[in-house]
Amino acid sequence: MTRHVLDRVVAASLDGHHARFAQRHGRAVRYQPEVCSFVALDDERDPRAWADVSELIGPGRELVLPGVSTWPDGWELVASLEGVQMVGTAVAPRPDPEAVVLGEDDAPEMLDLIARTEPGPFLPRSVELGTHLGLRRDGVLVAMAGERLRQPGWTEVGSVCTDPAYRGQGLAGRLVRAVAVGIAQRGDTPCLHALAENADAIRLYRTLGFTMRRTVKITMLARPTGG
């Protein structure tokens, strides 16, 4: 049975639109390290895939494997998080006249906002994954959202964050709808992932038209240093 692309979000992205960011070794594939931290295996039950990913990331390095719940002996569990996957079939895209397009020159300011709000992984070149929009106040970036993984027919909305001093003003919702404009224009449907414990974010996404598709485990592992 063919798996739905949203059940293999990392592999489907790197097999398609994000192929230029892919680093492969045998049965394992990852994003370039400064672009995204996600890794995918052809089959987590296959010992050969684990041997391949071990070679791919190098000794003592960490990897993030969405959807993986079992791993071979010797790998060290760094973190295991419960997440939810939501689909935005009812999201109403809406341009925002205040939103500005963010690019590589904005990366330091984006990384600073990410560090203060911790919405999820964002690396020095993550802005290259897709369109990112921001809102500024007095020239300072106070909220942003953007495109992350992209599968056939779907684009993930990610990096949704607002400076604590500006929360409660609806900025995140405005930006998600604005990002959805570009997604809809190319015929895709927005999707996203959130931590299951982040009730406030999930509540916001529901009000925007996202519905729950499935739960997903997000596992971070460290490769054995000996091999």
Q: What is the model's pLDDT at position 2?
A: 72
- Asked if 17 and 62 sit in the same domain, the reply is yes
For the chain, the average pLDDT equals 94
- Asked if 101 and 163 sit in the same domain, the reply is yes
The CATH number that applies at residue 186 is: 3.40.630.30
Contact 142, 58 (CB under 8 A): no
- Asked if 71 and 101 sit in the same domain, the reply is no
- Asked if 99 and 176 sit in the same domain, the reply is yes
The secondary structure element, H or E, covering residue 48 is: helix 47-57
- Asked if 121 and 158 sit in the same domain, the reply is yes
- Asked if 76 and 114 sit in the same domain, the reply is no
Average of per-residue pLDDT across 184-205: 96
Q: What is the model's pLDDT at position 1?
A: 61
Average of per-residue pLDDT across 191-212: 96
**Tell me: the pLDDT tens digits for 106-141?**
999 999 999 999 888 899 999 999 999 999 999 999
- Asked if 68 and 97 sit in the same domain, the reply is no
- Asked if 179 and 212 sit in the same domain, the reply is yes
Residue 227 domain flag: no
* Nearest alpha-carbon partner for 110 in 93, 89, 133: 133
Report how many domains make up the chain.
2
Q: Which residue has the tokens 């414990």?
A: 197
Spatial neighbors of 177 by CB under 8 A, at least 6 apart, are 91, 92, 93, 94, 96, 208
Q: In whole angstroms, give the CA distance from residue 4 to residue 183.
A: 19
- Asked if 70 and 172 sit in the same domain, the reply is no
- Asked if 90 and 105 sit in the same domain, the reply is yes
- Asked if 117 and 211 sit in the same domain, the reply is yes
* Exposed/middle/buried for residue 178 (C-beta within 10 Å: 0-12, 13-18, 19+): buried
**Tell me: the pLDDT tens digits for 13-22?**
999 999 999 9
Reply yes or no on whether the pLDDT at 227 is more than 60.
Answer: no
Contact 62, 89 (CB under 8 A): no
pTM score? 0.93
Range of the domain at 117: 86-216
Average of per-residue pLDDT across 52-73: 89
- Asked if 129 and 190 sit in the same domain, the reply is yes
Confidence at 144, pLDDT banded by 50, 70, 90:
very high
Reply yes or no on whether the pLDDT at 195 is more than 80.
Answer: yes
